Structure 1
Amino acid sequence: MLKKLHFILIGFGLTLVTPLKAEFTVAQIPPLTNKTPITLVAEKGFWTDYLTQEMLPKFTEKTGVSVKVVSTELESMFNLQTQALKQGEGKYDLLTMEAGWAKEWAANGYTVPLVQLAKLYDPDGEKAMQWYLEPYYPSLLNILSYSGEIHAIPYNNYVMGSHYRADLFNHPTEQADFLKRFGYPLIPATTPEELLDQGMFFTRKAGSMLADKMLTHDFYGLALMSGNKPHINDEFSSMLWSLGGAWMLPQYNQQQITHFEVPIINHEAIKTADIYRKLMAYAVPANEQFAFNEAANAIATGKAAIWPFAYNNLWSISFRVEKNIPGARLAVAQVPGGHPYNGAYAFAVSYDSKNPQAAYWLLKYMGTYEAQYAYALGGGNPCRMDVVTAAEFNKEELREIAGAFNASHIANLFWSTKVLTLGHFTTTAMGQIYPELSQACYAASNNATDSTDIFIKLSTKIKNIQNTYGEVPAIDKNNNK
């Protein structure tokens, strides 16, 4: 029996009232009239392996439709698929997208609204899709929507948390020393300023004492994704939002965005850069390639105390510290400032699919409780509330894979409709804007003096890109006082 989700919207908040459970299975796929083989683009890794070995054979057995998988690295996915979509040759039936591309692809007509597909192919029509989507986090569906219609089903959620060494935070000597030095208890940082204190406190040279043991190597308070990679923007954005700032702000008339405002002088971004540079002094030394894998491994190998802006889908990597370092205990808190970067990878049906009927049912099958549960067991961070909150994931023996699930749940609920207040999640040009954000953040992190000019130029680029590729204009927000 399908249990419906009941919720109460209050302003921009969402309060869950009843538990969730969706029971759609491959057995419920009706006979398909179109047997044309379909092609799926999927990221390399355990999820693609699971699809290929477990789910796709069941789908083909049930429907008679064979599925070809194009497995590729995430870095090449956008260009690979966009070029094919521009040609309209029906090369790919099911697309994989990063959340930031969702509105851009939808605005260009590259993806098909899920309700439209349901009306065509599902016996219960629109209602079936509405029920199906109930267990998914509203924050992710809002990011993946366009003009009030949802175009994609998320499978991999990378909302952030702060991964930290609980054994160090709870050690009596460390607690006493921190309290004496800073005047407040040693607990996970709730502000960037507290994080700076903790980064400074835990950074020590070889030969120093840490938790009453002598260090044989240099130890750092922090691990930051400070390389010349996209992820430095995610750290900057999290801090920027916590300071009340934004890269661009949507302005609404009723529920429609009329335009975006872009700050002429982004004071919050300038402050973020100043804080970030100070944090870097207490972070694991990084080169241009240092990103999420390197940060997670810094925690895993006992080189740092805190990864403050960690992607929670990397929890199982960070967790290796418990195997590598005797007595280590990993825990997770909300990110300092309480505004974690959020998003997901998702599947969508392409507009030029040669078999949209089969593509729709495979899409629906890949988002079932069964699939998301398997994804969670493989170490992924699922996108369905009923999976994330499943009782068995609270067991100690599953902490290696599910230890960050509750933190992710809280973070996703926080963002439920707040994502609609930021241009980051509402523009149809984010695929073009995002690289500019990353480049500016990296430049600002390496600027020893003033980042004002960097962010003034960035605001100009954002406006130009939005006005060239976006659906609504961007104008100056005069905040230069």
Structure 2
Amino acid sequence: MSARLWGRGQDWATVARDSSGKIKEFVITKANKAAIKEALSEYKTELQWDSPGALTANFDFTVAQIGNGNAIIAPTIWANCTVWANGILQEKVPGAKIGMYPTVGGHPYTGAWSYGVSKSSKNPEAAYWLTRWIASFTCSNIIFKEAGMVPARIDVLEAPELRQGANAYPLGMVADYHINIWKATSKDVGNYWYFNTKAGGKVYDMQIFAISKALTGEQTIDQVVSEVVRQTLDLTTKFDKKYKIREEK
């Protein structure tokens, strides 16, 4: 959903700034609400071509459907799934390949997959060094080449060997895809609402459950849009004490 909103030049909420560029407030504008409704309607229509797993957030099922050759197209899916599904595909449908194309609008979601150390570990020094290792070139290579997870290091993705021989597919394809979308969205990411509010994580979790109700038919799209707006206002007010949020009526 975020990708569909960003591709329309919209967001869940608009980050309003003053003349110096500092954030003044967050506003859920009329244009934001209209875009949420439009994107959600589009999403629901496209489910007729998507894997049934799209309604359950069951990655294993969705990946297996693609790998087994049962799914022709997945309108929206995590890019990482391409690498995992390809491993199954080569066993089930030898010689077959999976293609990738950026979300319509060219602003795919980049986030959610994070590596870090829990605060409850109560060991800040160990957390620092572990995080340094996770972010290193060596570990990022392992994460990508052996686990299929996309690292947050463009130098790893730009490695020439990823465009050669057996590495070109699927790793080279996935790397080129991410390099292109990172460059295309870099000028906008700093202004995305998620990444400017302390309430982003709380709202993200809420959206997963709220949005699914429109897709399964449990609620109408209009009902879900109203509920998302209401909860976004409530959660942001509760968890982000730095900036206020309001709805444009």
Normalised by the size of structure 1, how large is the TM-score?
Answer: 0.46
1:255 CA drift (Å): 3.8
Residue 291 of structure 1 corresponds to: 58
Q: How many percent identity over aligned positions?
A: 19
- What pairs with 1:167-316 in structure 2 (closer than 5 Å)? 236-253=1-18, 254-263=20-29, 266-286=33-53, 289-316=56-83
Contact 1:242 1:339 in 2 (8 A): yes
Deviation at 1:449, TM superposition (A): 8.5
Equivalence map 1:11-410=2 (5 Å): 236-253=1-18, 254-263=20-29, 266-286=33-53, 289-319=56-86, 320-343=88-111, 344-347=113-116, 350=119, 353-354=122-123, 356=125, 358-378=126-146, 379-398=148-167, 399-410=169-180
How far did 1:289 drift?
3.1
Residue 327 (structure 1) shift: 4.1
Per the alignment, in what secondary structure is the counterpart of residue 149 of structure 2? coil
In structure 1, distance between residues paired with 2:41 and 2:238: 31
Q: How big is the shift at 1:247? A: 0.9
> 1:421-441 CA distances to partner (integer Å, 9 max, x unpaired)?
221221101121112211221
Confirm or deny: 8 A CA contact 1:296 1:307 kept in the other structure. no
In 1, the alpha carbon distance for the partners of 2:54 and 2:101 equals: 27
Question: In the superposition, relative to structure 1, how do residues 410 and 263 fare at CA in structure 2: closer, same or farther (>3 Å)?
Answer: same
Deviation at 1:288, TM superposition (A): 5.1
Structure 2: gaps (5+ residues): none
- Distance in 1 of aligned mates of 2:127 and 2:44: 47
Determine the C-alpha separation between the residues in 1 that align with 2:185 and 2:117: 22
Match of 1:476 in 2: 247
Quote how far apart the aligned CAs of 1:244 are.
Answer: 2.8
**Equivalent residue letter for 1:386:** D
Partners of 1:284 and 1:298 within 8 A in 2: yes
Partner in structure 2 of residue 454 of structure 1: 224
1:391 partner letter = P
Q: Deviation of residue 308 (structure 1)?
A: 2.8
- Partner SS, residue 250 of structure 1: strand
- Tell me which residue corresponds to 1:434: 204
Equivalent residue, structure 2, for 1:206:
none
Aligned partner letter, 1:395: Q
Judged with a 3 Å threshold, the aligned counterparts in structure 2 of structure 1 residues 287 and 433 are, in CA distance, closer, same or farther, namely closer
Paired with 2:157 and 2:137, the residues of 1 have a C-alpha distance of: 10
The offset of 1:350, in angstroms, is 4.7
Counterpart secondary structure, 2:77: strand
Q: Is the 8 A contact 2:17 2:25 kept in 1?
A: yes
Deviations 1:110-148 (A, max 9, x none): xxxxxxxxxxxxxxxxxxxxxxxxxxxxxxxxxxxxxxx
Unaligned runs of 5+ in 1: 1-235
Q: CA deviation at 1:346?
A: 2.9
Counterpart in 2 of 1:466? Answer: 236
Separation in 2, partners of 1:290, 1:340: 18
Normalized per residue, the structure richer in strand is 1
Matched AA of 1:465: L
Mapped contact 2:14–2:193 kept (Cα < 8 A): yes
Aligned letter for 2:247?
D
- Change over 3 Å in CA distance of 1:401–1:438 after alignment to 2: same
Native 8 Å contact 1:259 1:474 kept in 2: yes
Contact 1:444 1:454 in 2 (8 A): yes
1:467 match: secondary structure: helix
Any runs of at least 4 consecutive aligned residues in structure 1 with deviations exceeding 6 A, and if so which? none
Opposite residue 293 of structure 1, the aligned amino acid is D
CA contact (8 A) 2:82 2:98 kept: no
How far apart in 1 are the matches of 2:127 and 2:211? Answer: 39
Q: In 2, distance between residues paired with 1:377 and 1:463?
A: 41
Work out the CA distance in 1 between the residues paired with 2:107 and 2:129. Answer: 35
- How far residue 248 of structure 1 moved from its aligned partner, in angstroms, is 0.9
Report the alpha carbon displacement of residue 252 of structure 1 after superposing the two structures with TM: 1.7
- State the secondary structure of the residue aligned to 2:40: helix
